């Protein structure tokens, strides 16, 4: 027996409302309770980065950030005056909370929001 649930109450700041679909199936049922397994099919405005990005993954900037923060012990927030441009390539060093990544660039290691870059597909660039 399979069920399909829908809700539109999932919101994220500055992104608006997202639609989420849950497909649920009853695995085990008795008179008092049931064991239900649900999986989601989420339509999102953001690409699924977690599946392709990991430590050591190459990335390419799709947009230049206005501000950049160093990944040092005492981070320093700086205005991006052309140090990081669209098309620049870097490598993931570590993952930070809220889709922020430590990225090693030619000018140093910086904390960059995931919306500014995408995974670099080496097979695509040949």
Residue 67 falls inside a structural domain: yes
Helix (H) or strand (E) holding 122: helix 122-125
| Chain segment 38-95, per-residue pLDDT in tens | 665 544 444 444 457 788 889 999 999 999 999 988 989 999 898 999 999 999 999 9
39 and 98, same domain (yes or no): no
Q: What is the dihedral of CA 46, 51, 57, 63, to 10 degrees?
A: -10
Please give the structure tokens belonging to residue 121.
């597909």
62 and 121, same domain (yes or no): yes
Q: How do strand 2-12 and strand 117-119 relate by DSSP bridges?
A: unpaired
Full domain range(s) for residue 32 = 2-43
Q: Who wins on pLDDT, 100 or 25?
A: 100
Other Cβ atoms less than 10 A from the Cβ of 61: the count is 20
Q: Mean pLDDT score of the chain, rounded to an integer?
A: 75
Q: Who wins on pLDDT, 11 or 108?
A: 108
> Whole-model pTM above 0.75?
no
What pLDDT does 44 receive? Answer: 40
- Taking the C-alpha atoms of residue 100 and residue 97, their distance in angstroms, rounded to an integer, is 6
């Amino acid at each position: 027996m399979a069920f399909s649930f829908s809700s539109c109450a999932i919101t994220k700041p500055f992104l608006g409302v997202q639609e989420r679909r849950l497909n649920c199936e009853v695995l085990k049922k008795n008179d008092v309770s049931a064991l239900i397994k649900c999986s989601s099919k989420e339509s999102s405005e953001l690409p699924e980065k977690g599946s392709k990005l990991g430590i050591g993954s190459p990335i390419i900037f799709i947009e230049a950030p206005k501000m950049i923060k160093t990944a040092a012990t005492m981070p320093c927030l700086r205005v991006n005056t052309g140090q990081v441009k669209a098309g620049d390539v870097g490598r993931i060093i570590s993952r930070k909370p809220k889709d922020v990544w430590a990225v090693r660039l030619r000018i140093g290691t910086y904390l960059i929001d995931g919306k500014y870059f995408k995974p670099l597909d080496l097979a695509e660039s040949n």
